[in-house]
Structure 1
Amino acid sequence: MSLVLDPAAQDLLFREARTANTFTDEPVTDEQVQAIYDLVKYGPTAFNQTPLRITLVRSPEARERLVQHMSEGNQEKTATAPLVAILSADNEFHEELPALFPAFPQAKDLFFTERTAREGSAALNSALQAAYFIVGVRAAGLAAGPMTGFDAEGVRKEFLDDDHTPLIVVNIGRPGENASYPRSPRLAFDEVVTTV
C-alpha cells in the first residue's frame, strides 16, 4: 500500500466505519466532542474560513423539539441516540475573518461583500467541515449517523437564526445491536478517475 496511515486506522476511519442507526446508552461527553472538534478544525477550507456551527442537543426538552422536525424514519434514531448534533452553516462567518487574517483585516470586505457569495462559500466549506467532523467522530472510536431527512426550515426556526442554514443532523454514540445496514457498493477507481 502507498498510504502512510496504518491499516487499523484506515479501517477505523473508512473501511470498517459505518453509519450507525442504533446506539448503546453510553453517554458522549463534552470532552469527547471538544477533542473531536480540536482535531477536525485543522481540515482545509477556502481562506481557512470556519462557517460550520455545531449545536449539541442534550436536554430531553430540546431532543423532543428536534424529533418533531425529523422525517418519520429518523425520529426513533434521533430520540434514542446518546448525543445529537445539528451541523449548520453560519452565513455571516466572514465577520470572523479579520481574526483569522490579522495581517489582512480587509479580507472580509474583499471576498464576501455579497450575501449570495457568502452563502455559497458557507455552504461549500461547512459541508467540508461536516465531513471532517464525521471522520473525527470515527477517530474518537464513536459512530455517526448523519441524516438530511428533516424539516430544515423547522430546525432553523427552532434552534438557529436567520443567519444559519442547517445542513445535517448527526446522531453520535457507540453503535448498538444491528447498528448498520449491509454496505452498499462503491464505484471502482477506473469508474471515477480520469487522467488527461
Structure 2
Amino acid sequence: MNDCLSADGLDLLFRNARSHNAWRDKAVSDATLKTLYDLMRWGPTSANSCPARILFLRSAEAKQRLLPALNPGNVEKTMQAPVTAIIGYDLDFHQQLPRLFPHNPGVRDWFAEQPQLIQTTAMRNSSLQGGYFILAARALGLDCGPLSGFDEAKVNEVFFSPPQPGGRLVGGQVKANFICNLGYGDHQQLFPRSPRLSFEEACQLL
C-alpha cells in the first residue's frame, strides 16, 4: 500500500495554503531555491519534455526591470516579495529530448517543423511544472503569490531576448508563462478565503 501524507501535510500543501500579497522581511536563501527546483523537476511532463525555465529575481535592480511590465495592482506585492520567479517555457525544449527521453532516439523528430505542437507542448507542460513549483515551495515552508497580470511581451523583451552576461535563458526561444512571488507571507494581512467549486459542480463520474 502506498504511503500518503498526514493531515498536517495536506493542510500545508492545500487546505491551509494561501496566495499571499504581503510579505515578511525574511530572505529566501539560494540553497532553498535550489532545493525547490530539485523537488519540482521530478514532476511528470509529456515525453519528459521539461520545458519550464525559471528566472529568480532577487535584487532591487532586477525587480526594477520587471516593474514596467506589471499591472498596477501587482506592483507593491511584487516589489515587496523577497523573490519573484518568472516561470517561462523553452521553445527549443525538444533539442534536449534525446537526453531526457533516451529510450526513443527519434523523439526529437516528433516536433520537427511543427511550431504549433512545440508551442502547445511547451506552454501546457510548463504550466504543469508551475503547479509542481508551487507545491514544492509550500513543502519547503515558503508562501507563494502567483500572478498573471503582466505584459508578456515586455517581460520577454527585457528578460529573455537581449544578451546578458552570464545569462543562459536568452535568444528569444524562452517565453514567459506566469510570475510567482515567493517568500514568507504576512499571515496577518490575508484576505478572507474565497470559496471553491464543490465536487458536484466541477466533476462528473462516467
Superposed counterparts of 1:1-196, under 5 Å = 4-161=4-161, 162-196=172-206
Structure 2 portions without partners, runs of 5+: 162-171
Task: After superposing the two structures, state which structure 1 stretch, 103-112 or 131-140, moved more.
Answer: 103-112
Structure 1 portions without partners, runs of 5+: none
C-alpha contact (below 8 Å) 2:142/2:182 kept by paired residues: yes
Name segments (4+ residues, structure 1) moved above 3 Å: none
Task: For 1:89, give the aligned amino acid.
Answer: Y
Shift of 1:40: 1.3
Give me the whole-angstrom Cα distance separating, in 2, the residues matched to 1:45 and 1:83: 25
Query: Aligned residue pairs: how many?
Result: 194
Task: After superposing the two structures, state which structure 1 stretch, 175-184 or 119-128, moved more.
Answer: 175-184
Q: Percent of aligned positions with the same letter in both sequences?
A: 40
Task: For 2:205, give the aligned amino acid.
Answer: T
CA-to-aligned-CA distance 1:144-193 (integer Å, 9 cap, x gap): 00010011100000001321221111110001253422111111111222
TM-score of the two chains, using structure 1 as the length reference = 0.94
Task: For 1:59, give the aligned amino acid.
Answer: S
Give me the whole-angstrom Cα distance separating, in 2, the residues matched to 1:77 and 1:126: 24
Please give the root-mean-square deviation of Cα atoms over the aligned residues, in Å.
1.4
Give me the whole-angstrom Cα distance separating, in 2, the residues matched to 1:100 and 1:30: 26
CA-to-aligned-CA distance 1:32-89 (integer Å, 9 cap, x gap): 1111111111111111110000001122211111012110010111111111110011
Give me the whole-angstrom Cα distance separating, in 1, the residues matched to 2:27 and 2:154: 27
